[in-house]
């Protein structure tokens, strides 16, 4: 092999080595890009998974303290519960913070039970007992009886008159959970309606001060 052939062989080997190095460098770049993309995808997946787990935990936490206020009554013609009782219950599993209470009779807002009695009974004496609703934190009924007896009329005759006027009443109670999620309970509707907040502007609050 002469000198010229030796130089050609050396140049060919050098070019082959250069191509191999270029291929290795290109493969390394592609591999690094794939690894980076995989790491990014894994990071996004983990972030979404953590976000979903956080939302699930928050939902479970909210559900564990979910209040459910209901407005009802009890009427009896004998025993210790003789008469008519207007009841407020929390049938949920968490405390209900009562932020707003309204009561109307024949569409007219009432401020106190005494105003109600004047409409129904005139000037007659009504030996009733009251409990304030507005501003109370009502615990759930899960482990003990926590019913608020908003008003109790023990005289049977007056209790029957009050009972007969039931469809003339409308009461709304806006209440919130410990997470500041709020609902409005209606006397005529057993299903509480969710609301952003308890807005008392433009309303006549019932028994705000007793």
- 174: Cα separation from own chain's centroid: 12
Smallest Cα–Cα separation from 117: which of 149, 152, 87, 148? 152
The answer on 74 and 50 residing in a single domain is: no
> Is pTM beyond 0.85 here?
no
Q: What letter does residue 210 receive in the DSSP assignment?
A: -
Cα(114)–Cα(133) distance, rounded to whole angstroms?
15
pLDDT tens digits along 17-76: 667 776 676 777 777 777 777 777 777 767 676 765 655 555 555 556 799 999 999 988
Q: Which domain holds residue 7?
A: 1-64
Residue at a domain's end among 64, 83, 108: 64
Q: Is residue 208 part of a domain?
A: no
SS3 at position 119: helix
- Domain boundary residue, one of 40, 64, 88: 64
User: Tokens 């080595």 map to which residue?
Assistant: 17
Q: How far is CA 82 from CA 40, 77, 114, 149, 166, in A?
A: 71, 5, 21, 13, 18
The token pair that represents 107 in the structure block = 């569409």
Q: 188 and 97 in one domain?
A: yes
For the stretch 136-162, pLDDT in tens is: 999 998 666 788 999 999 999 999 999
Q: Is 131 left (phi over 0), alpha (psi -120 to 50) or beta?
A: beta
- If asked whether residues 74 and 42 sit together in one domain, one would say no
């Amino acid at each position: 092999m002469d000198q010229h052939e030796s130089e050609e062989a050396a140049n060919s080997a050098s070019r082959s080595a250069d191509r191999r190095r270029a291929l290795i460098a290109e493969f390394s770049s592609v591999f690094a890009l794939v690894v980076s993309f995989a790491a990014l995808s894994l990071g996004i997946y983990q972030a979404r998974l953590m976000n979903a787990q956080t939302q699930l935990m928050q939902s479970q936490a909210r559900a564990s303290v979910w209040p459910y206020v209901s407005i009802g009554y009890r009427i009896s013609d004998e025993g210790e519960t003789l008469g008519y009782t207007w009841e407020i219950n929390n049938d949920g599993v968490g405390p209900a913070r009562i932020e707003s209470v309204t009561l109307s009779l024949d569409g007219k807002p009432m401020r106190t039970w005494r105003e109600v009695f004047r409409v129904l009974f005139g000037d007659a004496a009504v030996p009733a007992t009251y409990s304030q609703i507005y501003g109370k934190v009502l615990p759930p009924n899960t482990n003990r009886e926590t019913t608020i007896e908003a008003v109790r009329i023990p005289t049977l005759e007056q209790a029957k008159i009050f009972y007969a006027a039931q469809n003339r009443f409308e009461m709304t109670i806006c209440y919130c959970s410990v997470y500041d999620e709020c609902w409005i309970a209606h006397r005529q509707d057993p299903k509480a309606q969710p609301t952003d907040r308890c807005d008392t502007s433009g309303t006549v609050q019932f028994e705000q001060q007793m």
